[in-house]
Amino acid sequence: MKSKLNAYQMGAWTTATQYQLLHSLALLYTVGLPQTGPVVAAGYAFATGITFFSGSIYGLCLTKPDNPIRKVLGPITPIGGLSMIAGWLFLAYAKRPRSLR
């Protein structure tokens, strides 16, 4: 990939890869939990976040600057980030102490 991407794109690619790995592990963790509403919501949020956040960054890195798809991919990235945050919030809610339930 280094031969196809400039330094900025390589940094973005690395960030997308790291977030994809971290949230894939979180998604695998949710699969092992009892499937209550918040856990299922966390799983969907993580999956959506991985797809939108990392996928859009990969797309932005691999497309040419004049490609019209970039106008769609750019705004999708923060939606993916928000989905990842929502996944963590759902997971925290699902794992809250019994005294707070």
Q: What is the pLDDT of residues 9-57, one digit of tens each?
A: 999 999 999 999 999 999 999 999 999 999 999 999 999 999 999 999 9
DSSP string, the chain: -TTTS-HHHHHHHHHHHHHHHHHHHHHHHHHTS---HHHHHHHHHHHHHIIIIIHHHHHHHHS-TT-TTHHHHHHHHHHHHHHHHHHHHHHHHHT--GGG-
Total count of domains within the chain: 1
CA dihedral for 26, 30, 36, 40, sign (positive or negative): positive
Structural domain includes residue 2: no
Residue range of the domain that includes 91: 7-95
Hey, what are 36's tokens?
Answer: 């209550």
pTM: 0.91
The number of C-alpha atoms within 13 Å of 82 and in the hemisphere containing its C-beta is: 5
Domain membership of residue 44 (yes or no) is yes
